[in-house]
Structure 1
């Protein structure tokens, strides 16, 4: 079971011709022995003077100014590029997150109110009465992920113990099944902690993973948590638990590649900002295609790279 040379060429051509420069340079970095510095430069183009990320790095909200959620995307890419805590991109991003911490909420607001003034998916709309966007139904998203970046890049932060304890308390209080995005944020935290915290998080998440992940292939064209989102490579902590459905999804993904070479997002903006969604959709196609190729590479399913 492999991605055929023809499928590989179509995916490669799609990324090189249609994806954002960031995904193009990341593709070159991962598959073409391309320049890491060029990929870092493209990532830096999404970082603002205040250290946070914006500029539509998350295609579903077209906000130039910084937000904690967009900054988590930037830090995901920084981790992918193996940037260290001393790298200026990381230092500035972490300083931004430090400054954005909200004492009243004991965490970070995913997006600011000004997101309402730009094209955005309905779930990113900032609810003025609730004081947060629709995605933020629990503390977990994006707070658990952000705490993970403090473990990775600022492990000596004086409040990290407090924030980690808060994260664990919030996880134990989540209603089952754990929401897909909440689970993914905690998975990112799990990957950055050690010792007792790691054991505690893994025990809770591992007992919930098959409740959160949709194991029905007939529903994988819907907006659901799919196995490869949680176990994208064999080294994932949840790979053994999900191995049976991971293998099924790998086969399905081979079949679901569009004839133009991309993998299609399973969501849209549902009639909101219809003039802007096609731009976001094209960007997502590039992102998802790159991510799928990385998955195939991790599973040794690329015939030619």
Structure 2
């Protein structure tokens, strides 16, 4: 499985994903990953340049900035976190949160809709990466309080938002509070059918087959969301992940490819994520 994935990555991936694969699976340099990430950094401290493939154009965006922080956290680099927080503070609303997408030049996926509204999904993702790094910053303080308030008030949601909340709860420092909210969030997921346990039914507004599986909510066994699923449910899900490797060695993604380049950029990313999930659960060494 790893050999086939290596071939796929070498043939198809951006420099960033090639460096990340080398670091994660072949003992390559984490510094090389960070150097590749910093190529997407802007002078305002945020990140752009299609780092997250569905947002084209050079300008800094919240989701690009989350992607960068998550990758830097993965390799233990924290020195660019504070400038990123400074950027986020410039686009934040009074409640501490940031919008999902800024109205900047450049093409973007149809679901990247510019709005000034505070967005739980992207704010929770950003806060999760920063807490994972152990960062302290005034913007993060406000964003964290926003996330606590919004998560506590959730009565309905959708899979991407729940997944972002789960990442926040995995890394926020207040562990007792995180465990309480995770238990309540897991009940909501089961009650509202926000997880695909094999039926393949997509949530309203999602593309056919665009579902969230147990391993996506719980990418590692120590994720709080792991408690939402039985051993049998996790096992069946991981069997399906392993079986989904394509003949070319890579995995593919279920959401729409709105322009051809995104297919080539997303597939190496989801391939690495699939391998990480399988390794986390001891399906591969």
| Partner SS state of residue 124, structure 1 | coil
CA distance in 1, matches of 2:62, 2:86: 11
CA distance in 1, matches of 2:129, 2:90: 15
Are 2:201 and 1:183 aligned? no
Q: Per-residue displacement from partner, 1:173-209 (whole Å, max 9, x unpaired)?
A: 3233x21121122112112222443234223223223
Are 2:285 and 1:298 aligned? no
Aligned to 1:147: 127
Give 1:165's match in structure 2, choosing from 139, 145, 152.
145
Q: Which runs of 5+ in 1 are unaligned?
A: 1-6
Q: Per-residue displacement from partner, 1:208-247 (whole Å, max 9, x unpaired)?
A: 2334212234448711111111112212212233232221
Aligned to 1:4: none
Q: Which runs of 5+ in 2 are unaligned?
A: 203-207
| Partner SS state of residue 111, structure 2 | helix
The structure that has the greater radius of gyration is 1
RMSD: 2.4
CA distance in 1, matches of 2:199, 2:216: 14
Give 2:248's match in structure 1, choosing from 251, 260, 267.
260
TM-score, structure 2 normalization:
0.87
Are 2:36 and 1:36 aligned? no
Higher relative contact order, structure no. (Cα contacts within 8 Å, ≥ 6 residues apart): 1
Q: Is the 8 A contact 2:195 2:214 kept in 1?
A: yes
CA distance in 2, matches of 1:300, 1:154: 27
Give 1:227's match in structure 2, choosing from 199, 214, 232.
214
User: Aligned pair count?
Assistant: 276
Give 1:120's match in structure 2, choosing from 104, 108, 113.
108
CA distance in 1, matches of 2:126, 2:275: 26
| Partner SS state of residue 238, structure 1 | helix
Q: Per-residue displacement from partner, 1:102-152 (whole Å, max 9, x unpaired)?
A: 22x6421222112xx4232110133xxxx35xxx7x731212223334545
CA distance in 2, matches of 1:287, 1:235: 22
Identify which range, 224-233 or 162-171, moves more after superposition: 162-171
Q: Per-residue displacement from partner, 1:88-112 (whole Å, max 9, x unpaired)?
A: x223212212222222x64212221
Are 2:264 and 1:282 aligned? yes
